Amino acid sequence: MASNTSRGEFALIDFIRRRAAASPVVKVGIGDDCAVLDLSDGPIVVTTDLIVEGVHFDGAAPLRDVGWKAAAVSFSDVAAMGLRPEALFCAAALPEAFTMQQAEQILLGLNDCCSEFGVAMAGGDTTSSRGPLSLCTTALGCARGLRPLTRSGARVGDAILVTDSLGGSILGKHLRFRPRVDEAVALNRAFQIHAMMDISDGLSADLNHILEESKAGAVLEADAIPISDAARRMGAGSGKTPLQHALSDGEDFELLFTMDPDAARRLIEQPIFQTPVSIIGAITQSGLFIRHLGQLLPLKPEGYEHFR
């Protein structure tokens, strides 16, 4: 814990421990050297994410929202596998000037997200830092009778689908988004999803990941891509069109998936959840193209890259 608080690291650990919900998954939780988890019902999926001030959020972001985001990015990764997160670990590097009240706000945000999705906060670590605020989360999920989905199963002829709308997340969604956990599990239970991932770097960049792993190509239909109101607002002054924002803005955290086209039409006609779903294209043999204004154009995968 930051050194300038009289309450100290152990008080902060106690603050977390008192708020972490009990779970049958966690046999030994916060307070010991390791957590003991019972996740024996099928394969286990594990993901780790790091969010850093100045990269994933700015210094003006509400700290409770930062805590929510730290948990939500990892829950979104588990959802991308078609599964439900069961336990979360968080390591926090807190700036030396941080107060106990600031640290508590982050932890309350973490706990908000865990409580929303029934996830046990099972452990982690805290340290003071001379650098920016950084939060590293690790989430675990268990198949529990479901098949973990990957990026590598897209088939030629598959429909390509996304949840909700895309682009412009920097206007607020990137902080307090809702990971599509319930939707992903419902899809995995009701349909044979061939490939799935979450959109964190941008639609075209992340679709390209599916294509690379599946050794396939794709054609997107520009008119079918759901463009968010935020992307339209950004397009008014950014020098990019709303469509370009929808194709390349990062941190939408929506689901991108492929499935048999007949099944995709059934999903659209008979929705299994309230979140909108759109068919935006099809898987082909090779290449990445977009049909726009009657023309079939090559589409360069673009999105956020940490190392340029």
pLDDT at 17: 63
pLDDT of residue 245: 97
Question: What domains can you pick out in the chain, each with its CATH number?
Answer: 8-142 (3.30.1330.10), 159-298 (3.90.650.10)
Residue 194 to residue 162: CA distance in whole angstroms? 14
Q: Which residues contact 57 (CB under 8 A, 6 or more apart)?
A: 51, 65, 66, 69, 174, 175
What is the pLDDT, as a whole number, of residue 4? 40
Neighbours of 159 (CB within 10 A): 21
pLDDT at 20: 63
What pLDDT is recorded for position 3?
39
Q: Which residues lie below 8 Å from residue 69, measured CB to CB, with a gap of 6+?
A: 51, 56, 57, 109, 174, 175, 176, 177
Instruction: Please choose, from the candidates 149, 151, 150, 160, the residue with its C-alpha nearest in 3D space to the C-alpha of residue 284.
Output: 160
Distance in angstroms (rounded) separating the CA atoms of residues 20 and 143: 23
Give the number of other Cβ atoms within 10 Å of residue 4's Cβ.
12
pLDDT of residue 1: 35
Residue 2's pLDDT is what?
Answer: 40
Per-residue pLDDT, 35: 61
How far, in Å, CA of 108 to CA of 70, rounded?
12
- Rounded Cα–Cα distance for residues 210 and 190 (Å): 21
pLDDT in tens, the chain (308 residues): 343 434 566 566 676 666 666 667 766 555 655 667 777 778 888 899 999 999 999 989 999 999 999 999 999 999 999 999 999 999 999 999 999 999 999 999 999 999 999 999 988 888 999 999 999 999 999 888 999 999 999 999 999 999 999 999 999 999 999 999 999 999 999 999 999 999 999 999 999 999 999 999 999 999 999 999 999 999 998 999 999 999 999 999 999 999 999 999 999 999 999 999 999 999 999 999 999 999 999 999 997 665 55
**Strand-strand pairing, 84-95 and 120-129:** parallel
Question: What pLDDT shows up at residue 39?
Answer: 74
* Residue 210 Cα distances to 23, 125, 198, angstroms: 35, 34, 11
